[in-house]
Amino acid sequence: MREIAVFAGSAHPELAAEMCAQLGVPLQPVRMTRFANDCLEVQLQANCRERDVFLVQPLVTPVQENLVELLLMIDAARGASAARITVVMPHYAYARSDKKDAPRISIGGRLIADLMVAAGASRVLAMTLHSPQVHGFFSVPVDHLHALRELADHFRALDLSRTTVVSPDLGNAKEAAAFARRLGVPVAAGAKQRYADDRVSISAIIGDVADRDVIVLDDEIAKGSTVLELIDRLRDAGARTIRVACTHGLFTAGALERIGAQSDVVEIVCTNTVPVPAGASEKLTVLSVAPALAQAVQRIHDGESVSALFDTAA
């Protein structure tokens, strides 16, 4: 059987190292060089010939820099005669650009997918894409994982007798409902309208949250404007306590501090698909998805079913 070779870009080497520890394989070295004209050069410093190559690189800030690194890594692996190149992309930032909702704009999620395939990617391993249609932007196989299992295992340690899972909007309601089924609790959702990237309005909560312990579930939290607006509405509706959970904890522009400063927010939970921001709140709990990603990598390498491992059943 072909050997596994795992390489990581600059975006999140800690996650790649944890995955390799789970797999029992070394994290292979990568040399990144910047020329005087600001161009990047990437060298994979281990043999790739006829190997099953996995490139670990979430698209996080600086997104464009990390994207170019990833494209160059893919091209380097292809040029080194890798048998197969799998992009392990725990966070796909451009997945939010998934529709043409204004004139003369690019659907970036599709464009970047095409760039990865053109560079030589054979398949993609992603986690919690922003919307289901993004899966279809890729012309190569995509294994799409979620972190509901890790999040549910964490919250099962609590008394859930008066708990309700709340989705910030109807678009995320399906995932929130699946999460609520795992916990055996009811689900509710916010009626949200977005006016700008950082300006939203939630007019109502659909479902009963009065005197309930609420778990707000979202796929990612960036500036936190939606979550903060939802917290206000939950407070108005009489929620007893609030916990905030997401897969991708980007927490830009001081979002973590603002959410943590809310007196009725008792915990903020995210996974390590992206690096944890400096100065993390004492309310923050970070769960590792490295074991899940490593299991998926091993199953891809062995030609086994990934969906069987990461099904949606509780």
Q: What are the residue numbers of the active site?
A: 192
User: CA–CA separation, 299 vs 276, rounded Å?
Assistant: 28
4-8 vs 163-167, strand pairing mode:
unpaired
Report phi then psi at 3, rounded to 5: -80, 155
Tokens 């500036």 belong to 223
What count of residues does the chain have? 314
Task: Tell whether omega for the bond before 62 is within 30 degrees of 0, i.e. cis.
Answer: yes
Site of tokens 């086994």 = 304
Q: Which residues, 6 or more positions from 192, have their beta carbon under 8 angstroms from its beta carbon?
A: 168, 169, 170, 200, 201, 202, 226, 229, 230
Q: Please, which residues bridge with residue 42 across strands?
A: 32
Owner of token pair 């300006």: 199
What are the beta bridge partners of residue 4? Answer: 52
